[in-house]
């Protein structure tokens, strides 16, 4: 079994459009939407949800106003300014450290694990899709991503599915680290802008820290051929396997509007490019070592 | 000598669970007599973070000399190393099968973690 | 006054709107804060000079083994497995630590001392035209961006107008950037993905009780879908920026639209005037309320 994670650094470069296309091109795969706080894959892949379960993250503190003597001990101890002058804990600011509850002389603070999202296992015509919805303004997205990937691995093992494709979140922080850890290969989808180049360099540094073989494709490459060239040079100089360019094509958005993946919807230039990139990606994945499941 | 095998079931015929921190069970096996004891790891399966660290502690308390597992991340490895427990990674098969391999001297100790931490 | 520019979905044009909004007006009291610390980009467009940088770290525990009696109280209070007792030794995992200081407070022997973990840096500089930019840069490999975002925001001068460029998403980093803002300007992309993520951000802002407005970027992709949503939610659309290959090309080279396209400058000035009007009104209403 192998795992491919699609990331970008910069948001909005077309990760999800590329992932959705791969998910309809692959013969036997599981697709995971790891962009849990702005999940979009489900909008593109026709699916039926088979199972759902709640996701519990860390605990949060809550003051029982009847038991509280307003001594102020909790306010003094809280490092996150989460407790107001009238002793109400802001659940958004609460870090879940439990220090207030531990020290409260009246034991007036409850500290309980919170439900902070919902996980889904769905069936698409091309294989299972594992996705989630993180509650509004909830945290622990890294943990949720780890759990989704773990569920995907177990399902892959049960059903003998050889490939997991994961649509990663933007950035380089906690959920991204969770989405790329122990992947067999990464595909960076970038765009030919200075921002795209800058962000890709940071994502590549993360991939290097984790020692993961990395591929790169440039979306909307024709919007700025010069920067596209610079990105290609960077790839060459830094041991990134370049898998192709996707031209700017309005059919990418038309496919989105039609709730279909690009390769399902279109025969145009971008769709052709994505198909050829998928071939390259498969070939590259074939060269990475098989891991123990 | 006693070793721990991460296991997906409660007996010697069960398959080794390749995960360390979130393994379903730890089976403590006496390598000579093949007597064994099962330790559940359910609390860890659902732990928000630090499962590898907690699992390392659980194993350290059993007083074994080695852990036989599939994958071990850096934090769990650090805990086991501190407790003076050797780690063998990258193996698969039944619990009984891997202990037999261990007895036959076919397995070697890992010099470090073989996977990245899961971060959470 | 803090105006935070956010979006939910990535790549809708948050940074483009932030930097061009700042450059469209000539006011000394307008400063820019880039809180997308995982992938900061505002400096590419603003091009600040004479940059001063400051490393930012957080408290993590370090145990004085001479004093430690291995009582385990620190391990018990820690929710993050950042400090633990193994085989009669105390181990710390600084990267797991959330800096709550629980271990320090609970230790009966005063054996937990303060150490630090570097999160990243905060940089500050002014460009040739006097635009002042402060931005955070998360260290690659560091997972926790919210404390760094909070450090960037601590540098906001409450007297002026701060334009804050937020990270994408609706979880902790975006929320940290949006918290205690006076106004949230959401940059929406009129596509099904854009609309889905816009709605999530609007829900988050309702929880945070921050007044919200929308600008539509690349307004001709799927005309009408954002307008329809905004009408239903009663949210004002403050501006529409049409899709233009020329604009995309200018942005891709790290240049400012307001310098290259006069028609864009007019749209941004219009947007700023409307924002200013809204903020003045709410300030006056607030003062009347008091």
In this complex, the residue of C81, C87, C89 whose CB is nearest that of residue B50 is C81
The nearest alpha carbon in chain B to A57 belongs to B48
Q: Which of A53, A54, A43, A103 is nearest to A79 (CA)?
A: A103
How far apart are the C-alpha atoms of C28 and A147, rounded to whole Å? 48
- The dihedral sign for the CA sequence A107, A111, A112, A118: positive
Alpha carbon C171 to its chain's center:
12
Check residue A57 and give its pLDDT: 84
Share of chain B above pLDDT 70, in %: 91
How many Cα atoms sit within 13 Å of A142 on the Cβ side?
A: 25
Q: Which of A141, A158, A259, A165 is nearest to A215 (CA)?
A: A165
Range of the structural domain that residue B54 is part of? 2-103
Neighbours of A159 (CB within 10 A): 11
Check residue C289 and give its pLDDT: 44
- Same domain, yes or no, for C35 and C70? no
Tell me which chain A residues have a C-beta less than 8 angstroms from the C-beta of C106.
102-103
- Same domain, yes or no, for C106 and C32? no
The CATH code of domain A2-46+125-287 reads: 3.40.50.300
- Same domain, yes or no, for C157 and C229? yes
- Same domain, yes or no, for C26 and C140? yes
Q: Domain for residue C53, yes or no?
A: no
How far apart are the C-alpha atoms of B39 and C59, rounded to whole Å? 36
Check residue C151 and give its pLDDT: 97
Query: What mean pLDDT is reported for chain C?
Result: 94
To the nearest 10 degrees (0 to 180), the angle between helices C14-24 and C262-289 is: 90
Whether A131 has its CB under 8 Å from any CB of chain C: the answer is no
- Same domain, yes or no, for C81 and C24? no
Whole-prediction pTM:
0.92
CATH class of A58-115: alpha beta
- End-of-domain residue from the set C100, C118, C136: C118
Q: What is the pLDDT of residues B45-56, one digit of tens each?
A: 556 678 889 899
Q: What is the pLDDT of residues B45-104, one digit of tens each?
A: 556 678 889 899 999 989 999 999 998 989 999 999 999 999 999 898 999 999 999 999
CATH number at residue C44: 3.40.50.300
Check residue C87 and give its pLDDT: 86
Check residue C19 and give its pLDDT: 98
- Same domain, yes or no, for C186 and C270? yes
Whole-number CA gyration radius for chain B? 13
Tell the residue number behind the tokens 């088979």, with chain if given.
A50
- Same domain, yes or no, for C82 and C13? no
Range of the structural domain that residue C70 is part of? 58-118
Q: Number of folded domains in chain B?
A: 1
Q: Residues 172 to 211 of A: which have CB under 8 A from any C CB? A: 172-177, 191-196, 198-199, 202, 205-206, 209
Q: Domain residues of chain A, as ranges? A: 2-46+125-287, 58-115
- Indicate the burial class of A16 (C-beta count within 10 angstroms; 0-12, 13-18, 19 or more): buried
Position C24 pLDDT exceeds 60: yes
Sheet containing A241-246: which strands, arranged edge to edge? A48-63, A109-124, A127-134, A29-33, A163-167, A2-7, A185-190, A214-219, A241-246
User: What phi and psi, each to the nearest 5 degrees, are found at residue A128?
Assistant: -70, 150
Most C CBs within 10 A among B79, B84, B117, hence the mutation to make, goes to: B79
Whether C172 has its CB under 8 Å from any CB of chain B: the answer is no
Question: What ipTM does this complex have?
Answer: 0.91
User: What phi and psi, each to the nearest 5 degrees, are found at residue A277?
Assistant: -65, -40
Q: Domain for residue B117, yes or no?
A: no
How far apart are the C-alpha atoms of A173 and C140, rounded to whole Å? 8
CATH number at residue B59: 3.30.420.130
How far apart are the C-alpha atoms of C140 and C29, rounded to whole Å? 33
Q: What is the pLDDT of residues A85-138, one digit of tens each?
A: 999 999 989 999 999 999 999 999 999 998 989 999 999 999 999 999 998 878
The tokens for A276 are 């050829």
Helices (runs of H) and strands (runs of E) counted in chain C: 11, 11
Query: What mean pLDDT is reported for chain B?
Result: 89
Whether C173 has its CB under 8 Å from any CB of chain A: the answer is yes
**Spans of chain A below 50 pLDDT:** 292-293
- Same domain, yes or no, for C37 and C65? no
3-class secondary-structure state, position A268: coil
CATH number at residue C77: 3.30.70.20
- End-of-domain residue from the set C91, C118, C145: C118
Contact at CB, A177 and B22, closer than 8 angstroms:
no
Task: Give the pairing of strands A2-7 and A185-190.
Answer: parallel
């Amino acid at each position: 079994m192998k795992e491919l994670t699609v990331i970008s650094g910069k948001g909005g470069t077309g990760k999800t459009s590329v992932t959705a296309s791969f998910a309809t091109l692959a013969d036997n795969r599981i697709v995971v939407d790891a962009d849990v706080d702005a999940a979009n894959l489900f909008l593109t892949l026709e699916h039926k949800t088979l199972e759902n379960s709640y996701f519990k993250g860390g605990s949060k503190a809550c003051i029982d106003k009847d038991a509280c003597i307003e001594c102020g001990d909790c306010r003094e101890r809280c490092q996150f300014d989460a407790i107001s002058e009238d002793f109400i804990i802001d659940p958004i600011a609460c870090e879940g450290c439990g220090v207030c509850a531990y020290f409260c002389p009246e034991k007036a603070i409850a500290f309980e694990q919170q439900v902070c999202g919902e996980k889904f296992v769905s069936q698409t015509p091309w294989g299972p899709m594992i996705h989630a919805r993180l509650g509004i303004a909830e945290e622990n997205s890294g943990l949720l991503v780890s759990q989704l990937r773990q569920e995907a691995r177990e399902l892959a093992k049960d059903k003998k599915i050889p490939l997991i494709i994961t649509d990663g979140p933007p950035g380089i922080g906690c959920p991204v680290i969770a989405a790329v850890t122990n992947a067999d290969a990464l595909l960076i989808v970038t765009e030919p802008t200075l921002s795209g180049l800058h962000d890709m360099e940071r994502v590549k540094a993360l991939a290097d820290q984790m020692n993961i073989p990395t591929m790169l494709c440039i979306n909307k490459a024709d919007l700025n051929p010069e920067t596209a060239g610079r990105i290609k040079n960077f790839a060459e100089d830094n041991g990134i396997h370049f898998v192709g360019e996707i031209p700017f094509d309005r059919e990418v958005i038309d496919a989105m509007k039609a709730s279909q993946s690009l390769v399902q919807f279109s025969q145009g230039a971008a769709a052709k490019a994505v198909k050829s990139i998928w071939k390259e990606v498969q070939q590259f994945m074939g060269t990475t070592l098989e891991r123990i499941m | 000598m006693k070793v721990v095998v991460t296991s997906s079931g409660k007996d010697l015929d069960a398959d080794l669970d390749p995960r360390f921190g979130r393994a379903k069970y730890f089976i403590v096996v006496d390598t000579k007599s093949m007597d064994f004891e099962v330790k559940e790891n359910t609390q860890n399966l659902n732990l928000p973070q630090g499962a590898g660290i907690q699992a390392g502690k659980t194993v350290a308390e059993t007083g074994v000399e080695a852990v036989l597992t599939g994958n071990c991340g850096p934090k769990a490895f650090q805990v086991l190393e501190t407790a003076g427990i050797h780690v063998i990674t990258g193996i698969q098969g039944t619990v009984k099968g891997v202990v037999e391999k261990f007895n036959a001297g076919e397995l070697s100790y890992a010099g470090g973690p073989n996977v990245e931490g899961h971060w959470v | 006054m803090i105006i935070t520019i956010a979006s939910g979905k990535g790549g809708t044009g948050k940074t483009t709107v932030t930097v061009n909004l700042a450059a469209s007006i000539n006011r000394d009291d307008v400063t820019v804060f880039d809180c997308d610390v995982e992938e900061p980009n505002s400096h590419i467009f603003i091009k600040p000079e004479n940059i001063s940088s400051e490393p930012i770290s957080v408290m993590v525990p370090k145990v004085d083994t001479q004093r430690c009696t291995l009582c385990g109280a620190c391990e018990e209070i820690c929710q993050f497995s950042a400090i633990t007792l193994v085989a009669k030794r105390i181990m710390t995992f600084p990267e797991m630590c959330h800096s709550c200081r629980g271990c320090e407070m609970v230790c009966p022997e005063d054996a937990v001392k303060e150490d630090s973990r570097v999160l990243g840096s905060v940089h500050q500089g002014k460009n040739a035209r006097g635009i002042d930019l402060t931005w955070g840069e998360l260290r690659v490999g560091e997972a926790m961006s919210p404390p760094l975002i909070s450090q960037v925001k601590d540098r906001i001068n409450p007297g002026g107008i701060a334009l804050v460029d937020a990270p994408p998403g609706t979880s902790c980093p975006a929320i940290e950037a949006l918290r205690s803002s006076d106004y949230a300007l959401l940059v929406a992309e009129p596509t099904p993905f854009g609309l889905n993520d816009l709605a999530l951000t609007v829900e988050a802002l309702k929880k945070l009780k921050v007044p919200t407005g929308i600008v539509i970027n690349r307004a001709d992709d799927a005309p009408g879908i954002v307008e329809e949503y905004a009408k239903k939610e009663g949210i004002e659309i403050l501006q529409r920026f049409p899709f233009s290959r020329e604009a995309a090309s200018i942005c891709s080279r790290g240049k400012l639209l307001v310098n290259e396209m006069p028609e864009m400058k007019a749209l941004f000035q219009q947007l700023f005037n409307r924002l200013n009007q809204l903020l003045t009104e709410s300030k006056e209403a607030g003062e009347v309320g008091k």
